[in-house]
Amino acid sequence: MAGPAQALKTDAEAGAGFQAAPDLQAAAARWLSWLRDERRVAGNTIEAYRRDARQFFWFLNRHLGEAPCLKTLAEMGRGDFRAWMAARQNDGIEARSQARSLSAIRSLFRFLAKNGLATNGVLSTLRSPKLPRSVPKPLNVGEALEAVEAVAELQEEDWIGKRDAAILLLLYGCGLRIGEAIGLNRRDIPNGEPATLTVTGKGNKTRVVPLLPQVRAAIRDYIAASPWGGTGSDPLFVGAKGGRLNPRLIQKAMQSLRLALGLPETATPHALRHSFATHLLGAGADLRAIQELLGHSSLSTTQRYTDVDAQHLLSVYGAAHPRARR
């Protein structure tokens, strides 16, 4: 892994690649470094923000007829920002990506203002594109259990199969995100009672979730079979060479499961987390408790699962109720 000096050099090189004046290139590079080193923003998000900034500067080149500088950004009016958003829409960029792009540029402008480089209050008055309300697509109980039980059979190495089964059980049995499961270290797994797991989620927020006996047994089974040892600070789930597991391998395992079991395209690792919440709700669990288990900061996020459960009830009604068949 590159050290801090190398990482900063990489950001500087990326800043030089922006179609912008030198002062704005340098400021953009500082912004990306700040996101990574001080805000601890995820690498994928930083790369997305980098692309959004490049596209924004490229648009300003065409819109203004010259490379933008810090003064350009400070003097932009509402019409300039609206022209950029309209261009994105005309390019066929979906609303969710447009909203992320706007979020990225707002982050850049906040950084510039905070550091006395450029100030522009117009951007804060613009509304984000209205996003369609997405409804999670969980697996049914049978599909979820079948996926967890069958994943071990896809791997030639016995310990790798046990590893994948333990991870899927954490997603479905504890409602973890795949990144949260992959990020666990050996010391995070309790030896005694109570059998609870402290999880660090989005925004470095921690939550405590119960560790079901079946999940705990699967993790112990994997640890016993793994050829890689380690201390408490070492990663729990490792790849074939002993390093922390790449989540892409679990995504590939789910792809194989879709083919082997005939599961829908929506059967992803994250769908197991959705299944966890939906099945708890269907069994009568309290919405607030599900919110805590999932680590949602807002109850409105968790309330999406009530839509999923309602859809399930409607489908059952349509298939079984005499009045629905008239």
* Contact present, 18 and 53 (Cβ < 8 Å): yes
296 is catalytic: yes
- Of 202, 205, 220, 321, the active-site residue reads 202
Residue 12, CA distances (Å) to 32, 35, 72, 288 in order:
9, 14, 21, 45
177 is catalytic: yes
DSSP labels, 55-114? HHHHHHHHHHSS---HHHHHH--HHHHHHHHHHHHHTT--HHHHHHHHHHHHHHHHHHHH
- Of 30, 50, 162, 273, the active-site residue reads 273
Q: Angle at the Cα of 292 (from 290 to 295), degrees rounded to 5?
A: 105
312 is catalytic: no
DSSP 117: S
* Contact present, 65 and 19 (Cβ < 8 Å): no
- Of 162, 177, 216, 274, the active-site residue reads 177
202 is catalytic: yes
- Of 163, 270, 274, 279, the active-site residue reads 270
49 is catalytic: no
279 is catalytic: no
DSSP labels, 268-306? -HHHHHHHHHHHHHHTT--HHHHHHHHT-SSHHHHTHHH
- Of 30, 100, 162, 296, the active-site residue reads 296
> Which residues make Cβ contacts (< 8 Å) with residue 12, sequence separation at least 6?
26, 29
Residues designated catalytic: 177, 202, 270, 273, 296, 305
